[in-house]
Every structure is written in C-alpha cells, then in structure tokens.
Amino acid sequence: MFPKSYNSWQSEGARPGWQVGGLPLSSCVRSRTVGERGMAHARVMANEPSTIFMNGGFTMTKANATKPQDAITLLKSQHDEVKAMFKQFDELGERATTSKKKLATEICEQLIMHTAIEEEIFYPALRETSKEMEDMLDEAFVEHASAKDLIAQVQEMEPGDDLYDAKVTVLGEYVAHHVEEEEEEMFPKVRKLKLDLDALGAEMAARRDELLASA
C-alpha cells in the first residue's frame, strides 16, 4: 500500500514526523550555585513568550514544549497543526510548485506519524478498556487505511501532475472528517473511561520522541 519510503520508516522506526515537542530546549546558562541552577531551571519551565523553531516550519512556546499533555490534548494539538498545513497548501498559487511539494511532503509525514501513534498506543488502549468502542475503532482503522492509500499516491507524485492538487485536497477532506468524528464523538467518550490519560499521553509522547530521534 505504501511506497518504499513509508515501508522503510515502518520497519526501521525512523521517519520524519510530527514536528511537535521532543526536541531539546536550549541549554541553560551555567550557574555557580545550586540556588542559581534552580532559578535557571524555573525560568526555562516558566510560561515565557519565547519561541522554539521546529524543522517542519512550526513553532511552539517553551511552555508548550515542556508541559506534559494528556493523550487527547496531544492528539488535538496534532490535529490543529495538520489542519493549518492543509489550509496553507490551499492558499498556495498554481506556480508555487516547490512550496507545494515541500508542504505536501510534510503533511504526509506528519499524518504517518500521527496514525502510527494512534494505532500503536491510543486505539489499543481504548479497545482494551471498552468493548462499546470497538465499532468506532474499527471505523477509525478503515478511515486510516483510506488516508494511507491517498498519502502513498501523493508521495509518489509531483506538483503539476494530473490530479496532484485534487488528491491533496481530498486527503485534507478525509482528515477533516476523521478529526471531526474523533473530537466530537470519540474523545468525549474516552474522557468518561477509566483511563489514565496523562500516563497514556506520556507514552504516546515518548513514542513520538523516539521516532523523531531516530529520523
């Protein structure tokens, strides 16, 4: 179903993915005393307005980079980022082929990362906890499969090819529909389950960071 680049990522656990978190903050200025080191750490952890620039073009504050997220908050933040990327793609002109290729590549990579985190960790945890969610999870897997097929097609194409823009647009519509179902139907039900969403979010973030570090 996937081109060689995706299969390689899947087998090696190394593929550029979601450009969110997992990257080290700038080193703190060395302090001479324990008290000074504590103050330096506190400043890094504080909600400062400074910004960290990521490889994929996204930015996030230090506070967001260091603050733990529960599983749902983590997934929602990834949803927001990829939706913003689709919007940016739609705003590009017909002649912006280089920008289109770069952005479409980033979209595909981030979607691959996102689906991996959901399929490896999030969905199995839900399935083990609630039998009532099995049908919803089955549908989510089917939707993922459709998106993956389209991702593979986009990865093999170039801007200017017939239906290139159309396929990216339809992929965005697939994603928008999937996100809407998750955020409006699945996530509210998940909040009611006896799940440690903080621990689940930490596991998902660790997996995300592992894949990013291996890229």
Evaluate if residue 138 carries a pLDDT over 50: yes
pLDDT in tens, 166-211: 999 999 999 999 999 999 999 999 999 989 999 999 999 988 888 7
Q: How far apart are CA 120 and CA 158, in angstroms?
A: 30
pLDDT in tens, 59-99: 443 334 457 899 999 999 999 999 999 999 999 988 899 99
Evaluate if residue 141 carries a pLDDT over 80: yes
Q: Are 121 and 210 in contact (CB under 8 A)?
A: no
Q: Are 62 and 50 in contact (CB under 8 A)?
A: yes
Domains, the chain, ranges and CATH?
A: 68-214 (1.20.120.520)
For residue 189, count other CB atoms closer than 10 A to its CB. 13
Evaluate if residue 4 carries a pLDDT over 80: no
**What tokens does 116 get?**
């991996």
pLDDT at 66: 52
Q: Are 6 and 14 in contact (CB under 8 A)?
A: no
Evaluate if residue 15 carries a pLDDT over 80: no
pLDDT band at 18 (very low <50, low <70, confident <90, very high): very low
Q: What is the mean pLDDT of residues 109-127?
A: 94
The larger pLDDT score, comparing residue 178 to residue 44, is at 178
Q: What is the radius of gyration, based on Cα positions, of the chain?
A: 19
pTM listed for this prediction: 0.68
List the alpha helices (DSSP H) in the chain: 4-12, 34-45, 62-66, 71-90, 97-117, 123-129, 134-156, 164-181, 187-191, 197-214
CA separation, residue 86 to residues 104, 111, 191 (Å) = 8, 11, 28
Q: How far apart are CA 108 and CA 93, in angstroms?
A: 20
Q: Are 74 and 182 in contact (CB under 8 A)?
A: no
